[in-house]
Amino acid sequence: MFQYTKNGNFLTENQRKFYEDNGFLVIPKLVDNHLLENCRSKFAEVCNKGPSSMDMMVMKELSLKHQNFKGEYLVNKIQNLMNDEVFFACGSYKPLVDVVESIIGPSITCCQSMLINKPPGAEPKSSQHAMHQDYYYFPFGPVNSIVTVWAAIDSSNVENGCLFVLPGTHKNNLLPHKNGKGTKNVGYYEIVNYNKVNLCHLIMEQGDTVFLHPLLAHGSGANLTKNFRKAISCFYIDSNSYLIDFKGTQQEDLEKVMFKAYNKQHSHLKNYLDSWRLSSRLIRGSPGVYQQCLSQL
């Protein structure tokens, strides 16, 4: 009866059914505010003093780069967070990982993590994140062994660029995407054609957490307020996932673009797959096929 979730005790029958039918599930107040405030402070520290671990990457909002903005008024994302213990405390927070386990099973690796900041004043086209499926970026499978988790550090709403989703679209295959060049931000790909009729905005308070299937079409709006909009987003996979070669697929272009961007900060990287070695950390259970494959690259 259930295809996208596992048997276990951490989700109610209704929550499980909601995720199965819609491809996402919001759990109010799941992450402790204290952990999120620690992440907020750590983010400010990284913006001002630089990365707090070797593998961490800091990205700037291009539309603000030439306007003399600094610190968290300029940085729109830091990624590869899990080797910083402040962020790890959030990414490995038991109530959150329990829900992840209910979706992908008990062998859990966080394969990517980011703190996404939408600073005030950015160009709307640049601050929004166009409609996409996260699976477009992931060179591993099977697809149902992956889940995206997004926890609100600030309340998010239509004005400050909350997430929006197209419920049920996780039942599609991977859809054609094109490079969202208009956004200026490297690595933003968007779905070429989609129907907005059922678009649903996720209005969330601090600590509210949404779990998204990797094929669910989603994005986020521009921040049109004078305040920041921050969230922490982690991607989890079953540690027995296998790697996929993007050669000959529609993601060949993405692979080149992302590798070029990552290579600027980490010149020792051999290829795009190699970048997942930097960003992955085991969270629960034993290392599996995924770790073996990465170590053989």
Ligand X SMILES: O=C(O)CCC(=O)C(=O)O
Could you list the residues that contact ligand X (CB under 6 A)? 116, 129, 134, 163, 218-220, 231, 233
- The answer to whether 24 and 216 have CB atoms below 8 angstroms apart is yes
Distance in Å, CB of 160 to ligand X, minimum: 10
Residue closer to ligand X (CB basis): 220 or 241: 220
Q: Closest distance between ligand X and the C-beta of residue 29, in Å? A: 19
> 113 in helix, strand or coil?
strand
228's tokens: 């920041």
Dihedral angle over CA of 113, 118, 122, 123, nearest 10: 80
The H-or-E segment that residue 282 falls in is strand 281-284
Nearest residue (CB) to ligand X, 102 versus 183 = 183
CB of 16 or CB of 82, closer to ligand X: 82
CA distance to 97, 268, 295, per residue, from 26 (Å): 14, 38, 35
Least CB distance to ligand X at residue 180 (A): 12
Question: Judged by CB, which is closer to ligand X: 116, or 191?
Answer: 116
For ligand X, give the closer residue by CB, 16 or 218.
Answer: 218
28, two tokens:
């109010």
Tell me, what DSSP letter sits at residue 134?
Answer: G
Contact criterion met (CB below 8 Å) for 120 and 227: yes
Q: Where are the alpha helices (DSSP H) in the chain?
A: 13-22, 33-49, 85-91, 94-104, 124-127, 252-265, 272-279, 289-295
Cα 6 to chain centroid, rounded: 22
Q: Taking the complex as a whole, how short is the minimal distance between the CB of residue 163 and ligand X, in angstroms?
A: 6
Q: How far apart are the first and last CA of the chain?
A: 38
Q: How far is the CB of 106 from ligand X (least distance, A)?
A: 25
C-beta of 42 vs 132, nearer to ligand X: 132
The total number of residues written for the chain in this structure: 297
> Minimal distance in Å, beta carbon 281 to ligand X?
18
Give the shortest CB-9-to-ligand X separation in angstroms: 29
Q: Which is nearer to ligand X, 107 or 156 (CB)?
A: 156
| Three-state secondary structure call for residue 38 | helix
